[in-house]
A and B are shown apart, each in its own frame.
Chain A
Amino acid sequence: MASTTAHSLTIALAGNPNAGKTTLFNALTGLKQKVANYPGVTVERKTGRWQLNGSGADLIDLPGLYSLDATSLDEQIARSVITGEQKGVRRPDVVVAVVDATNLERNLYLVTQLFDYKVPVVIALTMIDVFEKQDHEINIAKLSQLLKVPVVAINAKSGRGIKELAKEVHKAAEKGESSAPVFNDVDETSGPHAKIFARYSFISKAVQESTRHNDTSKLRISSKIDKVLTHKFFGLVILVAVLLVVFQAIFSWATVPMDLLEQGFGGLSALVKENMPPGILTDLISDGIIAGVGGVVVFLPQILLLFLFISLLEDTGYMARAAFLMDKLMSKVGLHGKAFLPLVSSFACAIPGIMATRTIENRRDRFATIMVAPFMSCSARLPVYTLMIAAFFAGQTIFGFISVAAVLMLAMYSLGIAVAVVVAFILKRTVLKAPPPPFLMELPEYRVPNLRTVLQNMFTRAWLFLKRAGTVILAISILLWALMYFPRDLSPAPAADASTTQAAVVETGSEPAEDVVKESEQLKHSFAGMLGHTIEPVIRPLGFDWKIGVALIASFAAREVLVSTLSIIYNVGKDADAESTTLVSAIRDAKGDDGKPIWTPLTALTLMVFFVLAMQCMSTLAVVRRETNSWIWPIFMFSYMTVIAYTAAFLTYQGGRMLGFE
């Protein structure tokens, strides 16, 4: 290849999971990175710019891989990127192989596979400080000489070796060819796995000649930690405790910024109303846009915190231990321990969770995991739970010290898990019948999490959530505001109106103020009101009125829309004399046509149960459609989840009433 100064270089980062690839990628690209999907598939495509010796290079972060065998989608994509077959990606000039020094042999396996593609390879050796602390020695020059590729020891955190890596990558690109050994031509007639054996015997020799292990008897810190964290009894206790701490923290720490945001948006809305001439535009801005966006943004602190915990658990290596602890349980319902991670991720959002099922190789196991993933209480449900808890269960305790809010949260999460278990069990014995899937998973060394990686991950996920909030939810908010705002100036309802008649029957007598009646009538006869009324007979047995019905319809777009819908509904239809303007008090103060409160703790609980189980997320359905490549699965998912949600909510409400709750 000729001089590379003419065109911008393309560099790919390859490496095993947990080798430090993400940390290096972040260090090389800074904040200049883009996350998208490869076209037509859901493999994440992370790219960024690396300022390489003045001239920039495009850096592609390949998915974490153990092998390039192309048995999984990740491996297929990685292979097609390296060979230049991937559309929209230039064939990389150099592949930087990230290799964990503490796990040299297995990490080098992938490297020998890279050699086969004859692309220039530069090895970035990570974890060298840990390796040396373990009393091992490595001769990097010797390793480089044996592997016939440059090897650079790096520390992404301190910046050690980054300049040298850039220099070596540049040199390798200029050279444009690889002199590394190739294993393509290994004769496989002696056995189907001769190539694997050949690679490993080459690797073992190179590693033996370049490293010295002085004290292998020393118990590694990870093993010591594991003695407790994966202990048969204490391991499980700690797992439950970790989950509890996460939930409790989310709900105590997040309240401060949430209150501030709430006040801020409330103030902004009022400011607009005061300073703009009254009319449709003012109402649109203050009641539609500001109220809608505010109702979502206010929950950002919680979402950030949740992702902080998920990133921390992943980065420390604890997540794999959780899968190890849970596999027996998962396999009981026919799922893979690997399903644990996608399912745990689904607690943040089912969309990345469902996408993460790609690591499960068996199609049936994967589909079963996808089908139950939406039962995990995602962050979009948090606003719904929080609102209900804040309105009816805040500050209450059991035995004086256990917060009712925390117990309810745990109950909601547990309900989702329990139903998921039952459904998975049934699915694996019917539509998705298959033998138990194989399980093979690395238990990486425990690590002090890299703050930057954790924060970057947290903010990327939060940004993706906000982007959704900013586009889909804002659009829905405005649409809803319009649905409730139009048609204007309708004459009062005729007595023959079914719902009015029904309301009149149960009316207790106290006449509401005139302007409230007018406002209420406006909403009743808006498009949204008509829709809500249409489904009211169906949701009555759940204790829901038509306003909740409107919110349920709206939240098909995204669950968190329930909150903004309610805030719009109660802005429009709220009691004019209500002192408090916050949504919580609006809900508490909301009265039915009979003057009785619409919301009781039982209604709130029923709504929470419904939200745990109902498939109310168009985006999830769209992802399922893409991941299963069929419309049948998302339709099936929607139908069965709605049936389960309705049944459970019905039992909650009617059961609660039979027990004497209102």
Chain B
Amino acid sequence: MKEKMAQQTTLNTLEIGASGRVIAVNGDSRITRRILEMGIIPGVLVKLVKSAPFNDPIEVSVRGYNLAMRRSEAAAIEVAL
């Protein structure tokens, strides 16, 4: 999956309404673990639904439900467009 053919970026830089497939969730903190436990694991499709007032946090759609996270946290999530 990590081929260069797909354009790679991180979830926080996605445009509103854009989707991507998760390649990796970086880090090994509690928050990394919680992101994974909430179902954001490599291979899953994520969509940036909207951002809150003042541009942060963001609302992400994953596995049919919506999750709010800060852009700083979304930066750890690598996605392929």
Residues of A within 8 A of B (CB): 66-67, 69, 71, 102-106, 109, 192-193, 196-197, 200, 222-223, 226, 230, 232-233, 235-236, 320, 323-325, 327-329, 331, 337, 361, 436, 438-445
Cα A444 to Cα B34 with chains together (Å)? 17
> With A and B bound together, what is the CA distance between A233 and B31 in angstroms?
30
Shortest CB-to-CB span from A301 to chain B, Å, is 35
Question: Which A residues are in CB contact (< 8 Å) with B56?
Answer: 327-328, 331
Q: A106-B39, A230-B52, A324-B52 are in contact. Are A440 and B73 (CB under 8 A)?
A: yes
**27 A-B pairs (CB sep. < 8 Å):** A67-B37, A103-B63, A104-B64, A106-B63, A193-B32, A196-B37, A197-B42, A230-B50, A232-B51, A232-B52, A232-B53, A233-B53, A323-B68, A325-B52, A325-B53, A327-B68, A328-B57, A337-B57, A436-B70, A438-B73, A440-B31, A440-B38, A440-B67, A440-B69, A442-B68, A444-B65, A445-B65
Residue numbers in A under 8 Å from B67 (CB-CB): 440-443
Q: B41 and A223: CB pair below 8 A?
A: no
Let me know if B70 and A438 touch, CB within 8 A.
yes
Chain B: interface secondary structure?
mixed
In the assembled complex, the CB of B79 is this many whole angstroms from the nearest CB of chain A, namely 17
- What is the bound-complex CA distance between A104 and B55, given in angstroms? 30
**A78 CA / B58 CA spacing, docked (Å):** 30
Q: Which listed residue, B49, B50, B55, B57, touches A439 by the CB 8 Å rule?
A: B57
Q: Which residues of B contact A (CB under 8 A)?
A: 28, 30-39, 41-42, 49-57, 59, 63-70, 72-73
User: Considering only CB atoms, which chain A residue lies closest to B37 in the complex?
Assistant: A67
> What does DSSP make chain A's interface, helix, strand, loop or mixed?
helix
Known: A361-B30, A438-B73. A69 touches B53 (CB 8 A): no
Whether A324 contacts B68 by the Cβ 8 Å rule is: yes
The residue among A106, A197, A323, A361 with the most chain B CB atoms within 10 A of its own CB is A106
The 8 Å CB contact of A200, one of B39, B52, B57, is B39
Q: Please state if A236 and B53 are interface contacts (CB–CB under 8 Å).
A: yes
CB-CB < 8 A to B73: which residues of A? 438-440
User: For residue B44, which residue of chain A has the nearest CB?
Assistant: A200
Contact (Cβ within 8 A) B41 A443: no
* Smallest CB separation, A171 vs chain B (Å): 31
Q: Are A440 and B34 in contact (CB under 8 A)?
A: yes
Residue of B nearest to A104 (CB): B64
In the complex, how many angstroms separate the beta carbon of B32 from the nearest chain A beta carbon?
A: 8
The residue of chain B having its C-beta at the shortest distance from the C-beta of A71 within the complex is B30
CA distance A196 to B56 in the complex (A): 28
Q: A197-B42, A200-B41, A443-B66 are in contact. List 9 more A-B contacts (CB 8 A).
A: A66-B37, A196-B37, A196-B41, A324-B59, A328-B57, A440-B73, A443-B65, A444-B65, A445-B65
Output the nearest chain A residue to B53 by Cβ-Cβ distance: A232
A387 to B72, CA, bound (A): 47
Instruction: List the 3 closest A-B pairs by CB distance, nearest first.
Output: A438-B31, A328-B54, A443-B66
Contact B68 A192 (CB under 8 A): no
Measured CB to CB, the closest approach of chain A to B18, in angstroms, equals 16
How distant is the Cα of A226 from the Cα of B31 in the complex, in angstroms? 26
Establish whether residues B49 and A223, one from each chain, have CB atoms under 8 Å apart when the complex forms.
yes
The answer for the CA separation of A320 and B67 in the assembled complex, in Å, is 10
Q: Which residues of B contact A193 (CB under 8 A)?
A: 32-33, 36, 41
Distance between Cα atoms of A222 and B53 in the complex (Å) = 19
Q: Collect the chain B residues with CB atoms within 8 Å of residue A361's CB.
A: 30
Residues of B within 8 A of A438 (CB): 30-31, 34, 70, 73
The complex places the Cα of A396 from the Cα of B23 at a distance, in Å, of 62
- Complex Cα spacing A71 to B37, Å: 12
Q: Quick check: A328 and B37 within 8 Å, CB to CB? A: no
Contact B68 A337 (CB under 8 A): yes
Closest to A100 in B: B65
In the complex where A66-B38, A324-B59, A361-B30 touch, is A442 in contact with B66 (Cβ < 8 A)? yes
Q: How far is the CA of A196 from the CA of B40 in the complex (A)?
A: 10
Inside 8 A of A233's CB, which chain B residues have their CB?
Answer: 53
A105 in contact with B63 (CB, 8 Å): yes
User: Which residues of chain B are near A323, meaning CB under 8 Å?
Assistant: 68
Q: Tell which of A102, A232, A235, A320 has the most Cβ of chain B within 10 Å.
A: A232
Contacts of A235 in B (CB 8 A): 52-53
Residue among B35, B42, B54, B66 with the highest chain A CB neighbour number at 10 A? B66
- Asked if residues A439 and B68 are in contact (CB atoms below 8 Å), the reply is yes
Query: Which B residues lie within 8 Å of A230 (CB)?
Result: 50, 52, 59
Question: CA A327 – CA B59 in complex, angstroms?
Answer: 12
> Which B residues are in CB contact (< 8 Å) with A325?
52-53
Most buried by A among B34, B53, B63: B53
A260 vs B33: C-alpha distance in the bound complex, in angstroms?
A: 56
Determine the distance from Cα of A643 to Cα of B42 in the docked complex, in whole angstroms: 53
Q: Measured between alpha carbons, how far is A361 from B34 in the docked complex, in Å?
A: 11
List, in ascending order, chain A residues with CB within 8 A of B49's CB: 223, 226
Contacts of A67 in B (CB 8 A): 34, 37
Q: Which of B31, B53, B59, B65 contacts A106 (CB 8 A)?
A: B65
Name which residue of chain A comes closest to B51, CB basis: A232
With a cutoff of 8 Å between Cβ atoms, the chain A residues found around residue B55 in the complex are 328
Q: From residue A596, how far is it (CB to closest CB) to chain B in Å? A: 50
Give A487 to B80 CA distance when docked, in angstroms: 82
**B68 → A minimal CB distance (Å):** 5
B27 to A: closest C-beta gap in Å: 10
User: In whole angstroms, how far apart are the Cα atoms of A196 and B35 in the complex?
Assistant: 11
Tell me if A197 and B50 are in contact (CB < 8 A): no
Interface core residue of A196, A223, A320, A329 (most chain B CB under 10 Å): A196
Residues of A with C-beta under 8 A to B69: 439-441
Cα–Cα distance between A155 and B72 once the two chains are bound (Å): 39
